[in-house]
Amino acid sequence: MQSISTARSESQILATNKVLKNTYALLSMTLLFSAAAAGVSMTLNLPPFGPIITLVGYFGLLFLTTKFRESGLGILFVFMLTGFMGLTLGPILNLYLHLANGSQLIMTALGGTGVIFLALSGYALTSRKDFSFMGGFLMVGILVAFLAGLGAMIFSMPALSLAVSAMFILLMSGMILYQTSEIIHGGETNYIMATVTLYISLYNLFLSLLQILGALSNNR
C-alpha cells in the first residue's frame, strides 16, 4: 500500500515538473515572439489598434486557444494570441518613445516586470504554499478593474485610470502567485493555459507599471 502511494506521489511530482518545464519554455518563446511582433509594429509605425479591435482580437484568439488547448493547434493559437498582443503593444511603446525619457521609462517598466515575476514565481516555487484561495478574489478584482478601466477610458478620467493601473499591478502579482501555485499543486495541468495566464499577467503588469511611471514622470 505504501509503495503504491509512493509511486503515485512520484508520478504526480513528475507530472508537475513536466507542466512547469513546458509552461516556462512556452512562455519564454511567446514572450520573444511577442517582443518581435511589437518591434515590427513599432518599425511599421502602426496606429493604435483601439479598444474594440484589441478586445475582439484578444477574446477571439483566447477562445480558440482554450478550445484547442489539448491539441497542437492550441500552441499555434497561443503564438497568434501573443503575437497579436505584441502588435497592439507597438503603437503604445512608440507613444512613450516620443517622451524625453521614454526609453528609460520603458526599460524601467520592463525591468520591474521581470523582477516582480521572478520574485513571486520563486517564492511560490520555494515556499510551495497553496494560493488557490485567491482564485475567487482575483476573478472578481479583475472584472471590477476591467470595468473601471473602461469607465476611465470612456469618460476620460486620468485619476481613475491610474488607480486601475495600481489595481492591476496588485491583481497581476496575485495572479502570478496563484497560477504558479496551481501548477505546483496540480490545479492546472495544461501548460498551454498556464502559459496564457502568465503571459497576460506579465503583459498587464508591464503596461500598468509603464502608465504609472509615465504619470509620475510627467508630474515632476
pLDDT band at 4 (very low <50, low <70, confident <90, very high): very low
pLDDT band at 220 (very low <50, low <70, confident <90, very high): low
> How would you class 29 by CB atoms within 10 Å of its CB: exposed for 0-12, middle for 13-18, buried for 19 or more?
middle
| Distance, first Cα to last Cα, the chain | 68
d(CA 96, CA 113): 17
Domain regions of the chain by residue span: 2-218
| Mean pLDDT in residue range 45-66 | 95
**Pair 97, 150: CB distance under 8 Å:** no
pLDDT band at 3 (very low <50, low <70, confident <90, very high): very low
Single pTM value for the model: 0.92
SS3 assignment, position 197: helix
Task: Tell me the per-residue pLDDT of 8-49, one tens digit each, with 9 for 90 and over.
Answer: 477 777 888 899 999 999 999 999 999 999 999 999 999 999
Grid cell in block for residue 188: 492546472
Give me the DSSP letters along 79-128: HHHHHHHHHHHHHHHHHHHTSTTHHHHHHHHHHHHHHHHHHHHHHHHHH-
**Pair 26, 192: CB distance under 8 Å:** yes
Grid cell in block for residue 113: 516586470
Q: How many residues make up the chain in this entry?
A: 220
Average pLDDT of the chain to the nearest whole number: 91
CA neighbor of 203 nearest in space, from 77, 90, 113, 69: 113
pLDDT greater at residue 16 or residue 121: 121
Left, alpha or beta for 152 (phi > 0: left; psi -120 to 50: alpha)? alpha
Task: Tell me the per-residue pLDDT of 92-115, one tens digit each, with 9 for 90 and over.
Answer: 999 999 888 989 999 999 999 999
d(CA 36, CA 166): 27
d(CA 214, CA 203): 17
**Pair 33, 86: CB distance under 8 Å:** yes
SS3 assignment, position 58: helix
| Most distant CA atoms of the chain, gap in Å | 68
Q: Does 7 have pLDDT greater than 60?
A: no
What separation in angstroms does the CA of 180 have from each of 32, 76, 146, 188, 193?
20, 23, 23, 9, 12
Task: Tell me the per-residue pLDDT of 138-189, one tens digit each, with 9 for 90 and over.
Answer: 999 999 999 999 888 888 888 899 999 999 999 999 999 999 999 998 888 9
